[in-house]
Structure 1
Amino acid sequence: MQQIQQLQNSINQYIANKRYGASPAELYDPIGYIMSLGGKRLRPCLLLMACDMFGGDVEQALAPALAIEVFHNFTLMHDDIMDKAPLRRGKPTVHEKWNANVAILSGDVMMVESNKLIMQVNDSILRPVLDVFNNTAVGVCEGQQIDMNFETRAIVGIDEYINMIRLKTAVLVGGALKMGALIGGATDSEGTLLYNFGEQLGIAFQLQDDILDVYGDPEKFGKQVGGDIISNKKTYLLIKALELAQGETLTQLNQWLAADDFDPAKKVEAVKSIYNQLGIRERAEAEMSQYAEKALQNFEKINLPDNRKTVLKEFADALLVREY
């Protein structure tokens, strides 16, 4: 079995060598640009690990692994336009470096390129792999729309929020794992267990991201701590605080949410203080642990020797013990 570092090196090398087209440059240069910005490469690595876990040929899985990463970055390119985000991983976003029209059209080509990469899968499993990919892609788009809908709603329930992050974030983790499993020779039922593992893991991962945005070490987190508080983003922490706060505490929280002119540092400090008062961090961590446990229960059901499951298990554990 290959180790995590070997698999990460394989996908990074494959991404670095991939060319998408040359002309017109405005169409293809943004693809190379956003793909060169790096990131954790979490999803393609998971696909390769799943393939390797079932004894498949990792070389045969590189193209569909890149397909997942190209699709993921396509969604980021379009999300950045919707969010009017100036930076992506510390660099100008595509719509800032070029313009919104370029970013839209270049993103569209990325979706096509991801399908072309999927088509390199062996014909005998192409249809089920493509079905997983397409269902996953639709889920991600549904999740993004639901997230945008939340921006104009005063009240969002915890169950609604969990479903949104399931679609926007977690189904792509599950989809990557199931695709890798199928390419590696797994049965559909084994692939489904791995999909469920990935989906629950993805929810836990996003809940941890919510926690780190407020409580993470700014030196390690890589972006502004408290950004979700400043923008009134409806995360698990804010939704739970609005659900639990009463009296003067609720009044103070609503005042900060309604404020147009404020000192960002003071707002973060004040809202964080309310979270501390209500025990929000502990509740969020308990929720995260619950989904991590559900993920492991699905993983344990996969009928493979423990030594074949070690790499993926260690990678999953590391995801949920992070500071960034």
Structure 2
Amino acid sequence: MNIEEWEEYRYVESGINNFIDQMNESSLKKMVEHVCNTGGKRIRPIILLLSSEICSGSYQQSLNAALAIEIMHSASLIHDDLLDQGLVRRNLPSAPEKFGPSRALLCGDYLIAKCFEFISPYGEQVVRDFGKAGMDMAEGEVLDLKLDKDNFGENNYFECIYKKTASLFAISASIGAYTGGADETLARRFNVFGNCLGTAYQIVDDILEFLEVVEGKESKFTSETLPHVYMKNMSKEEAIEKSIEAVKLRVNAAKETLLTFNECPARDKLFQITDYITVDMLEIV
């Protein structure tokens, strides 16, 4: 699947480039360009656009919300690299490595401010949900920093990755639904889909990191992975197998939720994305 050929990808890419083009020439602009245009797949904003379309919305209606999601994600990568002393991301120097920690931190602050400018026209419920996800992501990082590996169990792990990762997937889907005109009940179902998908995605990422098959990323410090958690009570092979089962469980739940939405090309694409960032990635294991 070549997601770069999708119209949704091109739409988000154009929006990001327009945002950067409108910035005044400065070292900050160079940092934003480095962070926002270094090969990301734009999965989260594409989920938002597709969720909006399922609910009869248009890309014009939902683009700024999609840009807010992508920019929030970009800011979180900067902060993640600051915390983990990340050296390489997407086969390029991380922002802290290339520009220095202080400049990278200010770039992250700028992006967070910009994403709230993008999300602000969408009404109180959307802005509240967006702000809550941002707070969850910060709390997840704090949980990660504070973890005691000896006492860090399965429940701690899932709380941490919900906040760090799945929360942004969840609001990508639910905010997309809201921008398409969905009511709160339907938006909650989209949130469930995004939560299941984001959780599965993070477990897959953990498995690949645990097996040291992640390419294009290098950090001095790493987070606790689900296989590490399971290895406290079982063999390495059993821990990997149990982690893969956790992925499949959540992928199935995401697909079951998708089946409750209106059948349309946008829903078909969400099915494709669900496999693309989860079970398809496990084929190399």
Relative to the length of structure 1, the TM-score reads 0.79
Residue 299 of structure 1, CA deviation: 2.7
Matched, 1:47 2:43: no
Distance in 1 separating the partners of 2:101 and 2:279: 37
Residue 215 of structure 1, CA deviation: 4.3
Aligned counterparts, 1:1-324, within 5 A: 5-19=6-20, 21-22=23-24, 25-121=26-122, 126-150=123-147, 152-215=148-211, 218=213, 221-223=214-216, 233-244=223-234, 274-276=235-237, 279-302=238-261, 304-305=262-263, 309-323=267-281
The 3-state SS of whatever aligns with 1:86 is: strand
Match of 1:250 in 2: none
Distance in 1 separating the partners of 2:182 and 2:86: 40
- Residue-by-residue CA offset, 1:144-175 (whole Å, 9 max, x unaligned): 1111112x442211111011111100010010
- Residue-by-residue CA offset, 1:119-150 (whole Å, 9 max, x unaligned): 244xxxx1111111111111111111111112
- Whether the 8 Å contact between 2:210 and 2:225 is mirrored in structure 1 is no
Distance in 2 separating the partners of 1:183 and 1:209: 30
Distance in 2 separating the partners of 1:160 and 1:297: 26
Distance change (3 Å), C-alpha of 1:167 and 1:188: same
Distance in 2 separating the partners of 1:9 and 1:240: 40
Question: Which structure has the larger Rg over C-alpha atoms?
Answer: 1
Give the aligned CA root-mean-square deviation in angstroms: 2.3
In structure 2, list runs of 5 or more residues that go unmatched: none
Residue 191 of structure 1, CA deviation: 0.6
Identity %: 24
Distance in 2 separating the partners of 1:202 and 1:71: 15
- Whether the 8 Å contact between 1:210 and 1:237 is mirrored in structure 2 is yes
Distance change (3 Å), C-alpha of 1:116 and 1:306: closer
Distance in 2 separating the partners of 1:232 and 1:75: 15
- Whether the 8 Å contact between 2:84 and 2:222 is mirrored in structure 1 is no
Residue 232 of structure 1, CA deviation: 6.7
**Higher RCO, 1 or 2 (CA under 8 Å, sep at least 6)?**
2
Residue 208 of structure 1, CA deviation: 1.3
Distance in 2 separating the partners of 1:33 and 1:88: 11
Distance change (3 Å), C-alpha of 1:308 and 1:145: same
Aligned residue type for 1:134:
G
Relative to the length of structure 2, the TM-score reads 0.89
